[in-house]
Amino acid sequence: MTFAERLKELRKLEDLNQSQLAEKIGIADSTISAYEMDRFTPSVLILCCFADYFGVTTDYLLGRSEESNVQPAIHKLTK
């Protein structure tokens, strides 16, 4: 699975649209769209933001691991 596919899958699992996720991460919603369409990949900093938000490893996001829930999601801890 590609980064684009993983990002879209995780976003939908959290029941977020692209604009909502972009706001939570602090980037433009058009950037989320570009990531999900595999037009470009995020910087290491943004990749880490996604990993922290969803509670997964960067390896999972990049398709290097199938293990997704190895740490509690930060956004769930702050609710």
Domain membership flag for residue 22: yes
Q: Which residue type is seen at 59? A: D
Domain membership flag for residue 78: no
Q: Which domain holds residue 23?
A: 3-72
Q: What is the pLDDT of residue 79?
A: 44
Domain membership flag for residue 55: yes
Number of domains in the chain: 1
Which CATH number belongs to the domain containing residue 34 in this structure?
Answer: 1.10.260.40
Residue 4 has pLDDT above 80, yes or no: yes
| 18-43 confidence digits (pLDDT tens) | 999 999 999 999 999 999 999 999 99
Domain membership flag for residue 77: no
At 66, the pLDDT band (50, 70, 90 cuts) reads confident
Domain membership flag for residue 35: yes
Which residues have C-beta within 8 Å of that of residue 32, sequence separation ≥ 6?
Answer: 7, 11, 18, 19, 21, 22, 25
Q: What region does 73 belong to: left with phi over 0, alpha with psi -120 to 50, or beta?
A: beta
| DSSP category for residue 26 | T
Domain membership flag for residue 79: no
Find out whether 25 and 46 touch, Cβ atoms under 8 Å. Answer: yes
Between 72 and 61, residue with greater pLDDT: 61
